[in-house]
Structure 1
Amino acid sequence: MNEEQFKGKWNIAKGKLKQQYGDLTDDDLTYAEGKSDELLGRIQEKTGESKEKLEQMIKDI
């Protein structure tokens, strides 16, 4: 997968995460670039979901 394909898939994933968890902001999701563990922590904090469930949801997207 090249960089453009990855960016496209990440944009789709961000949109789906924001649809499911309305409390997430663009800043929360932009923070992900290079900091996946910290992103998962931010999402967990706002949604109350487990890290494992969030990781699986992102993989499924």
Structure 2
Amino acid sequence: MNIRGYQWSVLKKLLKQRFSELTEDDLVFETGKEKELYIRLERKTGKTEEDVARIIKSMQQAYLQQSTLL
């Protein structure tokens, strides 16, 4: 996973919209500790690691597309 800090605030909001059960604590992101974030997201959403990665990647792509259009 390749999450950049400046993107995380946007991605975090999108994840909370998609998965209302996620809390701020679930969405704490620290560089170098991405695996821990994935584990929390897997447990709270019931998704596999691959599903979580796919969801985040698609959100990143949508964010980057939107950013380049502005």
TM-score range, shorter chain: 0.7 to 0.9
Letter in 2 for 1:16: L
How many residue pairs match? The answer is 55
Looking at structure 1, the residues matched to 5 and 23 of structure 2 have their Cα atoms a distance apart, in angstroms, of 20
For the structure 1 residues 50 and 11, does the alpha-carbon distance in structure 2 shift closer, same or farther, using more than 3 Å as the test?
Answer: same
Q: So what's the TM-score if we normalise by structure 2? A: 0.69
The 4+ residue runs of structure 1 with deviation greater than 3 A are none
Q: Which has the higher helix share?
A: 1
Looking at structure 2, the residues matched to 37 and 28 of structure 1 have their Cα atoms a distance apart, in angstroms, of 13
Looking at structure 2, the residues matched to 38 and 15 of structure 1 have their Cα atoms a distance apart, in angstroms, of 19
Map 1:1-61 → 2, pairs under 5 A: 6-7=5-6, 9-30=7-28, 32-34=29-31, 35-61=33-59
Unpaired stretches in structure 1, ≥5 consecutive residues: none
Which of structures 1 and 2 has the bigger CA Rg? 2
Deviation at 1:6, TM superposition (A): 4.2
RMSD after superposition? 1.5
Unpaired stretches in structure 2, ≥5 consecutive residues: 60-70
